[in-house]
A and B are shown apart, each in its own frame.
Chain A
Amino acid sequence: MFKKILIANRGEIACRVIKTARKMGIATVAVYSDADRDAMHVEMADEAVHIGPAPAAQSYLLADKIIEACKATGAEAVHPGYGFLSERASFCESLEKQGIIFIGPKPKAIEAMGDKIESKKFANAAKVNTVPGYLGVIEDADHAEKIADEIGYPVMIKASAGGGGKGMRIAWDKSEVRDGFDRARSEAKNSFGDDRVFIEKFVVEPRHIEIQVLADGHGNAVYLGERECSIQRRNQKVVEEAPSPFLDEATRRAMGEQAVALAKAVDYQSAGTVEFIVDKNKNFYFLEMNTRLQVEHPVTELITGVDLVEQMIRIAAGEKLSFGQKDVKLNGWAVESRLYAEDPYRNFLPSIGRLTRYQPPAEGPIGDAVIRNDTGVTEGSEISMFYDPMVAKLCTWAPTRLEAIDAMSDALDSFVVDGIEHNIPFLSALMQHPRWREGRLSTGFIAEEFPDGFAPIKPDESQKGVLAAIATAVELLRRDRLDRLAGRLAPHSGAIKPDWVVKIDDDYVEVSLRDGMVSIPFEADLSINGGKVVTVASDWRPGEPVWHGTVGRQSVTAQLRPDPKGLRIDWKGMSVTTKTMLPRTAELEKLMPIKLPPDTSKMLLCPMPGLVVSISAKEGQEVKAGETLAVVEAMKMENVLRAERDLTIAKINCKPGDSLAVDAVIMEFA
C-alpha cells in the first residue's frame, strides 16, 4: 500500500479523499492555488504544495505542477478527484512516465471513454444499448443540419470531450441546429480546448440513471447498484438518490451487467460510472462512461457500505477486489442534495463571497436516519469566482425513501448559510414537492415544475399558523427579557400581554397566549386566529439561528434572522418576514402605505457579479424582444442577457472587460 498520496484537486472532494486516506494510514499531500491558501483541504492534509495563481488553467489544470509537487513531497500516487485532470489521459501517461501511480483507470480506458464518439463505438461492440446518433466528426453547421434531419428531432448536440452540462445544446427543430451547433462548439472549445461535437437523438421524458462499477487489475468487476440523477437544472445535477425509485430488479441487473461488460471491454481498473438514460418504458441507452469518482458517489456508499475512494486506492495499489457481485447488497435509501452558491430567486445565478455563517447539521445518526455532509468549506471560507460553485453535498440515509427525504428536509431546514446566496430554499422546496416524493421523475423535472424559475413557497393557512406561533414565542421571550431590563420605573407586574398580531408578509394572524410559561425552555398554549389552541415548545435561546421545537404535534426546524424590518423565518422552502405587534400597533400598521421597489424595468441590471464579455447593442439602437443585449461571464459560465421586450437603447454604462457588481446598471432603455 502507498505511504503517501497527493490529491490533485480542491474543495470537498479533496477533503473527502483525505479522510479515507487518513483512515487507511496513508499520508496526504494537498495542492493549492493562491485563492485556496487557507482552504480546508490544505489544513486537512499532512502537507500542502502551492501550485500557482487562482485560475484553474494556471494551477489545478497544470499536470507539470502536480508532478513537480509529487516529486517534491515523495507522493507515490495521485488521486485526481473529479473535474480538473481527472479524465485527462495525457496526465496519467505523464505520471506513469515518472513512476507515479494514477488512482484511477488506465489512460487507454480514459481515452476510450472520454471521447463520446469512441465510447459509443466501444459500447456497441460490448453489446451495450446506445442511443441513435452520428458518431463521425461533424464538419460544419450544414453538415450538422443534415445529420439532425436524418436522426429526427429533437436532437442533442454535445461536445465530444464534454462533461456536465457544458457544451451541450438541444435542437427541437431544424431552425435551432445551426445556432446550437455554433454555441456547443464554441463552449466546447472554451471549456475543454477541443471543439469537436456530435449529434444524437434526444430521448423525451428521460430519466438519468447511472451504474457504479468497480473493476480491479485482475479481471474482477462488480456493479454497486444505480443512482438516479434525474433532478437536474440545465443538465447540472441537483439532487441524486440511490437506489432509483423507478428500476425493478431485472432492469437493475440488465443495466449492471451491461455496465460491467463495458468496463471489462475497456480493461477498466478503478471506480467508474456508466450513465444511462432510461425512457418511460424502462428502455435504457448508454450515455457515457465517467472514468472517475462521481460527485454523487456518497449515495452509493451509504446504501452499499463500500468506501469507493478506499477501493480506488486499493485497486490502484494492485490489490484484488475483496468482494464479488453476490456480496453487494443494497440497504435502505440515500438522497444527496447539492448546495450551490447560486441565487435561486434570480434564476440561479452564481453568488460569491465570504461564508459569514456556515453551520451544517451534525453528521451521524439521528433517529433511524444518518446524515452525511461532504464539504470543503468552513465558516469564514471564501466562495470565489474561480471554481465550481458547489458548497457542500448534504446526504441523508434512512431505511425507506420517504424517511430519507424527510430527514433531508429537516437537515436542510437546520443548515445555516449566510454571506452568499445559496439554493437551500430551492432544495427544501424540492423535498416538499409531491412529484418528487412520489418518484415520478424525468430530467425535465425542474424545467416542467418550475417553468418560471423559483419563488419562495407561499405558506398555506396551517403553515401560517405555525410561523405565527414561532414568531410569537420569540417575541414573548424578547418581551419577557425586556421586562427585566435594569432601570425600570417599578418592578414589573409580570403581566405579559397575551394578545398579539403577527404580520406574515402581507397577511395578519392573531395569536393569543392562553396558558404556560414564557421562559427558557418555552412551553405555552397559543390560540391561532381565535381558533385551535396549540402547544408551542422549544428550548431555543435568543441569538440562536435555528429554532427547533414543536408546534402542536408537528416537529419544526426553522431558521430565524432578525432584522429591523422584522423576523425572517425560513422553513421548508418558505421564506417570510414576520412582524409581531400588539393589536393597537397592528391596527395602525395597516394604515401604512405600501412601498414599491424602484422601477428597474427600464434598465438592464447585471444579474450577478461578473465580467462583461460583450455588448451587442449600440446606443439609440432598436432591439426586438429576445435579442442579445450583453454577455456577462461569471464562474466560467457565459450568461446571455436578452431583451425582454422590444425596446430602444438609451445609454450604455459599461464596456467589454468591465467587472460589474450585482445589480449594476449595464444599460438604460428609452
Chain B
Amino acid sequence: MRDVLKELERRRDEARAGGGAARIDAQHKRGKLTARERIDIFLDENSFEEFDMYVEHRSTDFGMEKSKVPGDGVVTGWGTVNGRTVFVFAKDFTVFGGSLSEAHAEKVVKIQEMALRNRAPIIGIYDAGGARIQEGVAALGGYAEIFQRNVLASGVIPQISVIMGPCAGGDVYSPAMTDFIFMVRDTSYMFVTGPDVVKTVTNETVTSEELGGAKVHTTKSSIADGAYDNDVETLLQMRRLIDLLPSSNTAEIPEIECFQTVSEHDLSLDRLVPDNANKPYDIKELILKTIDEGDFFEIQESFARNIVTGFGRVEGRTVGFVANQPMVLAGVLDSDASRKAARFVRFCDCFNIPIVTFVDVPGFLPGTAQEYGGLIKHGAKLLFAYAEATVPKVTVITRKAYGGAYDVMASKHLRGDVNYAWPSAQIAVMGAKGAVEIIYRKDIGDAEKIAAHTKAYEDRFLSPFVAAERGFIDEVIMPHSTRRRIARALRMLRNKDLTNPWKKHDNIPL
C-alpha cells in the first residue's frame, strides 16, 4: 500500500515541477511567475484542487511522442476566493511554451463545463505561445471547442481573462469572448498575428509591445479592461474584482458589512459643479463619495475617458456605475464611449447588478470622423443596452443632459426606475446659444435681442424643473444627499421584478 501512495506523491511532484527548474528560473527572470505560483496568489491559501495533472498529449508527429510533460502546458482546477468557488485554468509557459494541444484544450473545456454546470466564475490565465503547430488541426479543433463553451457560458457565469505573457493567434479569441480582460504591463501582449507576420505581409516594423502591449489594448483598442504593474498586483486585483461579482446570473449579489453611514451629508458635493457651465469637474469624485469607503474598481479606466464605468458598493452591495466625465471632451458621447458603456451596462444587466448613472453630457460628438465611424450605430448600442436592461436603474443628472444624449443616459423613458436631478441640472434639447440661434434666426445680427432671448431660454430650460414638471425627473435633490438618496432608492428596488418579452435573443446593432 505504501508504495502506491509513494507513486502518487512522485507523480504529483513530477507534474508540479512543470517544465523544470531551469524553465521556472527563466520565467522568473522575465519578471513572470509560473502557472501554479499565480494560482497560489489568486486563490485562498490551500484551497486549490488541481484536476488532470497527469494528462499528456497524444501527438506522435514530428517526434512529439518523445517529449511529454504531465499537465501538457495548462494547470486546471478549482478553489475559492474569500470562500466563494472559482474555476481556474492557467497556461504553463514552462511546458511546451503553454501551447495548446488537443489534450490541453480538453482540460480547459472540462473546467469550463464544470464552471458552467456549477454556476461559478471562471478565470483563465494566459501566458502561451498559441497552437501547438505539431498537432495541426487537432489543436484548432480544441480552440473551437473552448470558444463554444465561452459563448454558452457568456451571461451565465462571469468569465475573466488575465493576460500574463504572450497571447497570440487562436489564443486571443477565447479571452475576447469573456467578460473582462486584464493585462500585465511590459510582460504581456495580445495580437492575432505577431510582428514577424506583420513585417512579411504589410512591411510594417513593429515590436510586440507596440503591436499588442498593455498600453495599446487599454488605451487604443479597448481590448483590455485594465492593466497592472506585475503579476502579484494583477492577481490581487482579480481577487478584488471577484469579491464584487455575483457567482452567476441567478446568484445573489455578494454583500459585505458596510461601516460607512449613508445618512451623513457631504457638503463638498454642493460645490462640485462649478458656476461656469463650461468649466469641467471630476465626476469620479462624485462616484467615490457615493460608494462605500471610496472603493471603486474601474473598468476601462484609460479608454474613452469621457465616460467612466466601474464597480463599487453601496451599503455593502455591488453597484455598477456609469458616468459622463466632464474632465475629458466635456463628457461628450462618441463612438468609443458609447461602446464602452454599452458593454458595461450589458454586463451588469446579465448579472443583476444595479446600475447608477451620473449624467453630465453635452450631446453626441459631431464631425465626419464620428459619423464615418458609425456613431449612429455605436450610440445606438448604448441606447439599446440601457433600454433593454431590467436591473434597478438609478439616474442622477448633475448638470447637462442635452439632446438625444439625455434620452440615452438611462432616462425615465428608458425605464429608469428612479431619476434624480441636482438643482444645477440643465435638461434641454441643446445649450442656450445654439437653441436661440435656431429659434430666433432673424435676430442673429442683433446682439441685444439675442442676449435677451438667451437669458429667457436659460431661465426656462436650463433647469431641472421643466423635466420635473412632466415627471421625467422624480425628484430634484440636494447634491449633499446623493449617497443617501441612491442608497434608499437601491434598497427600494431590491425586489424589482421586470422581464422583457420572450425572444431567442435580441438583435443589438453590433
Do A and B belong to a common assembly? yes
In the bound complex, how far is the Cα of B207 from the Cα of A87, in angstroms?
A: 65
Tell me if A640 counts as interface (CB < 8 A to partner B).
no
Which residue on B lies nearest to A564, using beta carbons?
Answer: B237
Contacts of B82 in A (CB 8 A): 482-483, 485, 488
A380 touches B257 (CB 8 A): no
A380 touches B267 (CB 8 A): yes
Within the complex, what minimum Cβ distance (angstroms) separates B47 from chain A? 9
Tell me if A562 counts as interface (CB < 8 A to partner B).
yes
Contacts of B243 in A (CB 8 A): 482, 485
In the bound complex, how far is the Cα of B396 from the Cα of A497, in angstroms?
A: 42
Contacts of A542 in B (CB 8 A): 259-260, 293
In the bound complex, how far is the Cα of B82 from the Cα of A483, in angstroms?
A: 6
Task: Select B254's contact among A354, A485, A562, beta carbons within 8 Å.
Answer: A485
A593 touches B256 (CB 8 A): no
B232 touches A520 (CB 8 A): no
Task: Select A497's contact among B41, B45, B274, beta carbons within 8 Å.
Answer: B45
A520 touches B259 (CB 8 A): yes
Tell me if B471 counts as interface (CB < 8 A to partner A).
no
In the bound complex, how far is the Cα of B82 from the Cα of A380, in angstroms?
A: 37
A: interface residue count bin = 35 or more
Within the complex, what minimum Cβ distance (angstroms) separates A582 from chain B? 6
Tell me if A489 counts as interface (CB < 8 A to partner B).
yes
Tell me if B231 counts as interface (CB < 8 A to partner A).
yes
In the bound complex, how far is the Cα of B44 from the Cα of A497, in angstroms?
A: 11
Interface size on B, residues (CB 8 A): 50
Given known A-B contacts A378-B267, A562-B295, A487 and B232 have beta carbons under 8 A apart: no
* Contact residues, A554-608 vs B (CB, 8 A): 562, 564-565, 581-582, 584-585, 588-589, 591-593, 595
> How many residue pairs bridge A and B at CB < 8 Å?
114
B275 touches A37 (CB 8 A): yes
B84 touches A487 (CB 8 A): yes
A588 touches B293 (CB 8 A): no
Contacts of B83 in A (CB 8 A): 482-483, 485, 488-490, 492
Tell me if B281 counts as interface (CB < 8 A to partner A).
yes
Within the complex, what minimum Cβ distance (angstroms) separates B79 from chain A? 10
Tell me if A250 counts as interface (CB < 8 A to partner B).
no
In the bound complex, how far is the Cα of B385 from the Cα of A528, in angstroms?
A: 53
Given known A-B contacts A497-B45, A542-B293, A591 and B28 have beta carbons under 8 A apart: yes
Contacts of B85 in A (CB 8 A): 489
* Contact residues, A58-95 vs B (CB, 8 A): none
B257 touches A481 (CB 8 A): yes
In the bound complex, how far is the Cα of B251 from the Cα of A509, in angstroms?
A: 40
* Contact residues, A483-516 vs B (CB, 8 A): 483-490, 492, 497
Task: Select A489's contact among B84, B252, B294, beta carbons within 8 Å.
Answer: B84
Contacts of B266 in A (CB 8 A): 379
Within the complex, what minimum Cβ distance (angstroms) separates A48 from chain B? 15
**Residue in A489, A541, A542, A584 whose Cβ sees the most chain B Cβ within 10 Å:** A489
Contacts of B292 in A (CB 8 A): 543
Tell me if A140 counts as interface (CB < 8 A to partner B).
no
Tell me if B285 counts as interface (CB < 8 A to partner A).
yes
B232 touches A585 (CB 8 A): yes
Contacts of B106 in A (CB 8 A): none
* Contact residues, B260-287 vs A (CB, 8 A): 260, 266-272, 274-275, 281-282, 285
A380 touches B271 (CB 8 A): yes
0/1 string, B403-429, CB within 8 A of A gives 1:
000000000000000000000000000
In the bound complex, how far is the Cα of B229 from the Cα of A188, in angstroms?
A: 50
Given known A-B contacts A489-B83, A489-B84, A564 and B228 have beta carbons under 8 A apart: yes
In the bound complex, how far is the Cα of B47 from the Cα of A497, in angstroms?
A: 14
A485 touches B84 (CB 8 A): yes
A588 touches B232 (CB 8 A): yes
Tell me if B37 counts as interface (CB < 8 A to partner A).
yes
B231 touches A379 (CB 8 A): no
0/1 string, B161-189, CB within 8 A of A gives 1:
00000000000000000000000011000
Tell me if A363 counts as interface (CB < 8 A to partner B).
no
Contacts of B254 in A (CB 8 A): 485-487
In the bound complex, how far is the Cα of B253 from the Cα of A486, in angstroms?
A: 8
Tell me if B146 counts as interface (CB < 8 A to partner A).
no
Which residue on B lies nearest to A358, using beta carbons?
Answer: B268
Task: Select A595's contact among B229, B267, B285, beta carbons within 8 Å.
Answer: B229
* Contact residues, A339-387 vs B (CB, 8 A): 354-358, 378-382
Tell me if A149 counts as interface (CB < 8 A to partner B).
no
0/1 string, A468-487, CB within 8 A of B gives 1:
00000000000001111111
Tell me if B33 counts as interface (CB < 8 A to partner A).
yes
B229 touches A588 (CB 8 A): no
Which residue on B lies nearest to A584, using beta carbons?
Answer: B40
Tell me if B59 counts as interface (CB < 8 A to partner A).
no
B256 touches A485 (CB 8 A): yes
Tell me if B233 counts as interface (CB < 8 A to partner A).
yes
B257 touches A379 (CB 8 A): no
Tell me if B209 counts as interface (CB < 8 A to partner A).
no
In the bound complex, how far is the Cα of B78 from the Cα of A489, in angstroms?
A: 12
A-side residues, CB < 8 A to B, are 37-38, 354-358, 378-382, 481-490, 492, 497, 520, 541-543, 562, 564-565, 581-582, 584-585, 588-589, 591-593, 595
Known: A380-B271, A489-B80. 12 other contacts (CB 8 A): A354-B271, A356-B268, A356-B285, A380-B268, A381-B271, A382-B274, A483-B83, A492-B83, A585-B40, A585-B232, A592-B31, A593-B31
Q: List 11 A-B contacts (CB under 8 A).
A: A355-B268, A379-B266, A486-B252, A488-B82, A488-B84, A542-B259, A542-B260, A543-B294, A582-B45, A584-B45, A592-B230
B-side residues, CB < 8 A to A, are 28, 31, 33, 37, 40-41, 45, 80, 82-85, 185-186, 228-233, 236-237, 243, 246-247, 251-257, 259-260, 266-272, 274-275, 281-282, 285, 292-295
